[in-house]
């Protein structure tokens, strides 16, 4: 990069004094591409040093991230979820990543990393449809590579609709049914997992209805309390941190189902 900058400076002086005697070694497009590569590399180093490290990702995990960024042919790699918000639990929170790839590219698998792959076309389409996951990523995601491309994609937010809550309520209802089915099969542990997912969908739907954009999973209970859903907030906390009895699981399913029914009446 230093050689390129020296050459550009010589060209600048030549143009200024009318003494340009040789053609540059690269075309304007090639020079622009080199500068773009350099800026991207600097951005990547700054982002990994300033933001990712400050959130407590271990050295081994940073190495995995670096390998992922260098090995995958991706338009962008974006940190999402609780790690992007600085709300993660270091012991239990997977590192969530959104990776921009072509439709034909296989999504990589890395231990302790939850990787979601989308093409730019898929991301743009889902943003236009009001998909709350994609809109969350565009609002709060931290680019680890492809920062300029990601910043450009964030322009989609301006024309995107507010997310639709009914999708979240439909998903919550399905998870509650799964939870009850698993209870009948004698598997309360798996039932609690389904309950936790269902309560999360329900919480997001209720927040969306109140024009509150849901943040990361650990932050949602406090958001619920801020709009008056104290019982659901407590249920969400309990499902995430306690071993629930079958009776508690059934009670929380009933609570969730009642809230969905109430939301349907208001709609």
In order along its 267 residues, the chain shows pLDDT tens digits of 556 556 666 655 555 555 555 666 666 666 666 666 655 554 454 444 444 543 566 677 777 777 777 777 888 999 999 989 988 876 666 889 999 988 767 788 888 889 999 999 999 999 999 999 999 999 999 999 899 999 999 999 999 999 999 999 999 999 999 999 999 999 999 999 999 999 999 999 999 999 999 999 999 999 999 999 999 999 999 999 999 999 999 999 999 999 999 987 775
| Domain CATH for 120 | 3.30.460
Same domain, 176 and 107: no
Provide the H-helix boundaries in the chain: 2-17, 28-47, 59-71, 81-85, 120-128, 132-140, 147-153, 165-184, 188-209, 220-226, 230-241, 246-266
- Are residues 191 and 91 located together in one domain of the fold? no
Question: So what's the pLDDT on residue 63?
Answer: 78
Instruction: Give residue 168's pLDDT.
Output: 97
**Residue 110 per-residue DSSP state:** B
Please check whether residues 117 and 171 belong to one and the same domain.
no
Q: pTM for the complete prediction?
A: 0.76
- Residues 7, 128, single domain; the answer is yes
The answer to whether 232 and 238 are in contact (CB under 8 A) is no
d(CA 187, CA 181): 9
Residues sharing a CB contact under 8 Å with residue 86, sequence separation 6 or more, in sequence order: 54, 55
Same domain, 94 and 7: yes
Domain that holds residue 219: 165-266
- Last residue of one domain, picked from the residues 159, 183, 203: 159
State which of 109, 141, 159 marks the end of a domain.
159
Give me Rg for the CA atoms of the chain. Answer: 24
Q: How far apart are CA 42 and CA 92, in angstroms?
A: 31
**HSE of 256, CA atoms in CB hemisphere, 13 A:** 35
Same domain, 183 and 207: yes
- Could you give the number of structural domains in the chain? 2
């Amino acid at each position: 990069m230093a050689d390129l900058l020296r050459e550009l400076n010589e060209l600048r002086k030549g143009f200024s004094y009318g003494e340009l005697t040789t053609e540059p070694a690269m075309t304007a497009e090639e020079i622009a591409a080199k500068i773009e590569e350099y800026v991207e590399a600097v951005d990547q180093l700054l982002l990994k040093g300033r933001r990712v490290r400050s959130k407590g990702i271990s050295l081994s995990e940073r190495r995995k991230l670096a390998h992922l960024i260098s090995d995958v042919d991706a338009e962008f790699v974006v940190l999402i979820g609780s790690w992007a918000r600085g709300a993660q639990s270091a012991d239990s929170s997977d590192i969530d990543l959104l990776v921009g790839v072509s439709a034909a590219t296989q999504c990589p698998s890395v231990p302790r990393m939850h990787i979601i792959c989308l093409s730019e076309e898929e991301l743009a389409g889902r943003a236009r449809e009001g998909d709350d996951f994609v809109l969350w990523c565009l609002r709060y995601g931290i680019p680890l590579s492809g920062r300029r491309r990601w910043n450009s994609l964030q322009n989609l937010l301006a024309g995107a609709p507010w997310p639709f809550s009914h999708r979240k309520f439909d998903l919550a209802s399905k998870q509650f049914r799964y939870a009850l089915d698993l209870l009948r099969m004698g598997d309360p542990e798996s039932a609690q997992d389904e309950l936790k997912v269902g309560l999360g969908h329900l919480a997001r739907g209720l927040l969306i209805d109140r024009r509150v954009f849901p943040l990361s999973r650990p932050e949602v209970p406090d958001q619920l309390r801020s709009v008056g859903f104290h019982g659901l907030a407590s249920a969400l906390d309990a499902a995430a941190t306690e071993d629930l009895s079958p009776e508690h699981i059934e009670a929380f399913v009933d609570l969730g189902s009642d809230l969905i029914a109430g939301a349907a009446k208001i709609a």
